[in-house]
Structure 1
Amino acid sequence: MLPSDESLLSQFKQGDASAFRALVDRYTAPLYNLAVRLLRDPMEAENITQETFLRVVGALDRVQLDVPFKPYLFRIAVNLCHDQARKHKPLLFADLERNPNDELANAEDAIADDAPQVWEQIEEKELHARLRDAVDNLPPNYQAAIILRYVEDFSYDDIAQTLDLPVNTVRTRLRRAKLQLRARLDKDTRPPKHVTQIQ
């Protein structure tokens, strides 16, 4: 069984550098994924990830062992992303897909399949693109809540701790964000007003 975050943090506070290395190994990829989705810039995401860990080390004497570490860590990263985004408008949020790989390889795979499956894959890609666009157009506070909940799979409590909000505010933001996403997606699927329906 892996040691808990709090156990590793306690060991690090006592001078065990390998314990902090274990935390870095555990959270580098999730923090990077969050930052790259929020900023859509791999270089900035790397910087944010490193800066997040540096902030933990810098505040080590103030880090509380009785508070869950993961939401604390992600709060630092989200705040750094928001600060970075304010410096470099416009704020764009990246793909919601976990691993956006080579488009050409995906297209070649699709062509190799039968025609019905190709159309299904094309429709799915279009839906993902529309969803990404809709999320990109949400206000930043809604974007962060949506990404933490549906990409990083955070609980409402963890999101509340990460964003330093009451749980009910998190629920409200998620509900409003989903309503905005639904409205945007519905709007995108309606034919333009100048196009008449053929009966």
Structure 2
Amino acid sequence: MLSQFRAAATLLVAFTLLLGLAYPLAMTAVAGLVFPGEASGSLVSLNGEAVGSRLIGQSFTTDRYLHPRPSAAGTTGYDASASSGTNLGPTSAKLAARLEADGAALKATTGAKLLPADAITTSGSGLDPDISPAFAALQAPGIAKARGLPLAQVERAIAGATAGRTIGVLGEPRVNVLAANLALDALSPASAPGAAPAPGTPTAANTAPAG
């Protein structure tokens, strides 16, 4: 009995050290060498300072910037420490009221008759870094007006931040909001007098959508 216990304990300790310590450390080291950007969080830097991540959305609230889709993460939206959706289903009156109000406001602002779904709906994580090309195109005229830029320049900045389907078949084309806004700032810096804060700088708080 004692010999069996000793063998079992030895195997437990050995595999704990091997699979619980050595293997994770080795994989972390390999990932850092082979994929340094991804291993460090896919951070985006500006002038040597991290301003965000390509994988985690953040809020932009001024007319000079491309806005992400609504977020229910945290009390103000895009709270990376409180990733979540609203858990409201298609029969929810609260969700329907929020979608109707947000849709009407966006239509009044843009003059659009039809809206892309992601213009008023939240994602499951509340931290989606991308929006659809259709939603980005809807915002482009307003951004051009706010920045005093030709619409074509704004559209080129958005196109430069647009990715197609992964390996040509997975997912949908998407626009990375942070990348597009950094490109817009390169055309018309946010540091100009009276301009909005640069990406990564906290902006006026939003109230997280109810649905």
Q: Greater relative contact order: 1 or 2 (C-alpha under 8 angstroms, separation 6 or more)? A: 2
Higher strand share: 2
TM-score (norm 2): 0.25
TM-score (norm 1): 0.27
Higher helix share: 1
- Bigger-Rg structure (1/2): 2
